[in-house]
Amino acid sequence: MSAGEDTKNDLLDLLLESNLSEIEAHGNTNSVGMSSEDVVDECKIFCFAGQDTTSSLLTWTMSLLVQYPDWQARAREEVVQLFVLRLYPPLPLLNRDVHEEIKLENMLLPAGGRSQWPAIHLHQDPELWGDDASEFKPERFAEGVSKATKSQVSFLPFGWGPRI
């Protein structure tokens, strides 16, 4: 990595260089630095757990496709991606600033406050999505997000709008 060799300086190069420096600084003892297994584990983290929202989406997608093998052939379609985001949104809470005092049913939200809404409840509300709201039905999105629900703001997997 040094002594005139060309380096790429990607995450793996930086990880290995840092690990080598740590080992050399401590006299090549076994008590410092990362093992080969540790390096492989770190690479897995870079690839699979680097973005919580993405890994959450992929995990639930795979889980549902295992349960419903007839949909595996259709997994390339955008409709499946949208449906998994509705059933298992990557953001657990949606935060909203309250700009003016408002009453929602029996709650009074003061101006200047902040409200939090559990996305999964919004995404699985039978009043918005129908009696089958918690069922795996990707065909629900066959005509687009706007026709899948009774409200334009019922699908907020990343905080606002269907694709943010």
Q: Which pLDDT tens digit goes with each residue over 96-146?
A: 889 999 998 898 999 999 888 888 888 889 999 899 988 888 788 778 777
Q: Is there a single domain that holds both residue 22 and residue 84?
A: no
User: In sequence order, which ranges of 91-157 are alpha helices (DSSP H)?
Assistant: 119-123, 126-129
pLDDT digits (tens, 9 = 90+) for 35-88: 778 888 877 777 766 566 777 888 888 888 888 877 776 765 665 566 777 788
Q: Is residue 68 part of a domain?
A: no
What angle in degrees, to the nearest 10, is found between the helix axes of 78-87 and 52-67? Answer: 100
Q: Is residue 39 part of a domain?
A: yes
Whether 164 has a pLDDT exceeding 50, the answer reads no
Q: Which domain holds residue 115?
A: 73-147
- SS3 assignment, position 62: helix
Q: What is the pTM of this model?
A: 0.45
* Helix H or strand E segment including 147: none
How many domains are there within the chain? 2
- Of 28 and 67, the structure prediction assigns the larger pLDDT to 67
pLDDT of 80 = 57
Q: Is residue 61 part of a domain?
A: no
Whether 9 has a pLDDT exceeding 90, the answer reads no
Q: Is there a single domain that holds both residue 77 and residue 117?
A: yes
Whether 163 has a pLDDT exceeding 60, the answer reads no
Q: Is residue 98 part of a domain?
A: yes
Q: Is there a single domain that holds both residue 123 and residue 86?
A: yes
